[in-house]
Amino acid sequence: MAPDILNSHRLAPNILALDFDGVVCDGLREYWQTAWRAYARCWHVDEAAEPKNLGDRFRYLRPVIETGWEMPVLVAALVQGLSDDEILADWPALVKRLAAEAGKEPKELVAQVDGERDRQIRTNLDNWLALHSFYPGVLDLITRVQQSSTDFFIVSTKEGRFIRQLLAQGGVDVAPEQVIGKEIKQPKYQTLRDLKAKAGGNASLWFVEDRLPALQLVKDQADLQEVQLFLVDWGYNIAKDRQAAVADDRVELLSLEQFSAWQFP
């Protein structure tokens, strides 16, 4: 691992872009609750009949999920008795097949997921917020970046309004244009490309993410070769991904201790 991650002799970037879930915020408890309820609605199952231990397996398998509509489908896969190995083997293909077999459209599934979140925020806000926690030191880091000359953005597949609500609860105010969520309807690498273009051709950009596939897609972009990519070791990823990051010279594996010590002049 590069010894300079603590940026002792590396200049701070012009732009710092952070993923949200698994980098800034641990929302696994909320994630399970929302996934289960959305599943119960979509598959017409009694919400109170939550099978025991399913939540633990769901949390373990969370790294396979890229975006919200897959959440209730992962619950369906577990209810149908698929093994962890079957789910981990090729989730991107499996999730499409399971949704198609059940006659569910991603659009309908994500409407249930977001609808459930909106319902919780409207009717049970304190409980909803309490299901989330911020990783130690990360809010302080965001505050430092906000006070520095580095531009700060959250780039997430979660709806921006949920992210801003959570950050506000943590005492961090970010402008709406600094949170680029699912509503933008484009891959993260395109958002990074837009941020870079807006800041001018030579702007340096660091992107911190907990999902290796998202970093790999950035790697594949010929015009984003200068973007510094970091995989966090505390989020929703599996050992195989962390090992792959160590072996990959484009991606640096980052510990929370290193990350929370980053300084921005």
Q: Which residues bind Mg ion (CB under 5 A)?
A: 19, 21-22, 210
Pairing of strands 179-180, 205-209: unpaired
Nearest residue (CB) to Mg ion, 65 versus 205: 65
**Could you count the other beta carbons within 10 Å of the beta carbon of residue 84?**
12
Residues shown for the chain: 265
Nearest residue (CB) to Mg ion, 73 versus 232: 232
Give least dist CB 33 to Mg ion, A. Answer: 18
Nearest residue (CB) to Mg ion, 26 versus 116: 26
Comparing every residue's Cβ against Mg ion, the nearest one is 22
Pairing of strands 25-26, 133-134: antiparallel
Give least dist CB 149 to Mg ion, A. Answer: 26
Give least dist CB 213 to Mg ion, A. Answer: 11
Taken in order 76, 21, 196, 227, is the CA torsion positive or negative? negative
91: Cβ contacts below 8 Å, ≥ 6 apart: 64, 65, 70
Give least dist CB 172 to Mg ion, A. Answer: 18
| Measured distance between the N- and C-terminal CA atoms of the chain, rounded to whole angstroms | 24
Nearest residue (CB) to Mg ion, 104 versus 211: 211
- Give how far Cα 33 sits from Cα of 13, 115, 151, 243, Å: 37, 13, 34, 30
Give least dist CB 47 to Mg ion, A. Answer: 26
Nearest residue (CB) to Mg ion, 22 versus 40: 22
Give least dist CB 211 to Mg ion, A. Answer: 5
Give least dist CB 253 to Mg ion, A. Answer: 15
> 27: which 2 tokens?
């929302």
DSSP string for 36-80: HHHHHHHTT--TT-PPTTHHHHHHHHGGG--STTHHHHHHHHHHT
Nearest residue (CB) to Mg ion, 159 versus 210: 210
Sheet of 151-155: strand order equals: 179-180, 151-155, 15-18, 205-209, 228-232, 251-254
Nearest residue (CB) to Mg ion, 41 versus 59: 59
